[in-house]
Structure 1
Amino acid sequence: MDFEQADAVNQAIRLLSLRHRARAAALLAPLGLHPGQEVLLLELARTGPMIQAQISEAIGCEPPSVTLMTRKLEASGHITRTPAPSDRRASVVELTDSGRALADQVKQLWCTLAEETVTGLPAQTVGDLPGVLRTLAGNVDTRQPRPSHGRRAPA
């Protein structure tokens, strides 16, 4: 890939990321949420109670960020945190009734955001998009060892 093509790909991904996050923030603000908190709420709605370390892994977020999000969501009454029976140092996080209602609102918002994002794309492209984006994310996942792509390690 030459620089012009690389630049076009990287700039498009960067711009999409920035604008998608900004639009998500604008949609979440009336609900009293910040970007990232909705992902935590949706994960708990999908899976049920989890310890914070599991949440961190599931949503791809650093543990200190999950701790901060859970504190804020607990203070607003949307989740509860209780000591894990098997490890008192760990906290089990669970949605409250308020949190479940908020997660339902977030699901509607999430549909709106996705529909806005893919407007104008053919249905086949929209269907292929999640797989393509997961592949792209996997290609730049810093938690995974990088393939050598035929390069030899220095001797």
Structure 2
Amino acid sequence: MDTPPQELASEAIHKFLILNRYLRQYARQVTEHGVRPREFSVLRFLLESGPATVGQVQEYLYRSASVASTVIAQLEADGYVTRTRSPEDNRVVIVELTPAGREIAQKAPMGGIPLLRRRLGTLPPERLQMINQALDDIMRLMEVQELE
């Protein structure tokens, strides 16, 4: 017997709320380590990829250059990263972890978006396409536009 549409919709909303609560709880756990989730995301990115340009950090965050620069500036002020000009091209700024940044990146719990980024890539392409289509539907139903 098929599940009624209203029951399926309720189940989807319930799962959405669970994810929302989880992300808030995870944000609190990361904040206990002295960084915000977005900052932690950058620290994990640098830990896994090594030194990166500001542009690469921007692409990783899916944010504007100004947002990426603000996050990097805060991490630098806190002593978690350094910024240096590339010797090959003075216009390019390289971001690197400091020992303190490496410690936070290794110590803070892996979860939330950093974990999702790591694990989504292990799914087959057809599954990823289904997930993307479902997320597009949710965004449309909630009247969510892509925001900065």
- The TM-score bracket by the shorter chain reads 0.5 to 0.7
TM-score normalized with structure 1 length: 0.63
Q: 1:140 to 1:41 in 2, by over 3 A?
A: farther
Residue 33 of structure 2: aligned partner: 31
Higher relative contact order (CA 8 A, sep 6+): 2
Q: 1:77 to 1:137 in 2, by over 3 A?
A: farther
Residue 131 of structure 1: aligned partner: 123
Which ranges in structure 1 are unaligned for 5 or more consecutive residues? Answer: 115-126, 143-155
The code of the aligned residue for 2:57 comes to I
Match for residue 75 of structure 1 among 74, 77, 87: 77
Matched ranges for 1:2-151 at <5 A = 4=6, 5-6=8-9, 8-9=11-12, 11-12=13-14, 14-106=16-108, 109-110=109-110, 113=111, 131=123, 135=128, 138-139=132-133
**Could you tell me whether the CA contact under 8 Å between 2:85 and 2:91 is conserved in 1?**
yes
Runs of 4+ off more than 4 Å: none
TM-score normalized with structure 2 length: 0.66
Q: Quote the offset at 1:69 in angstroms.
A: 1.1
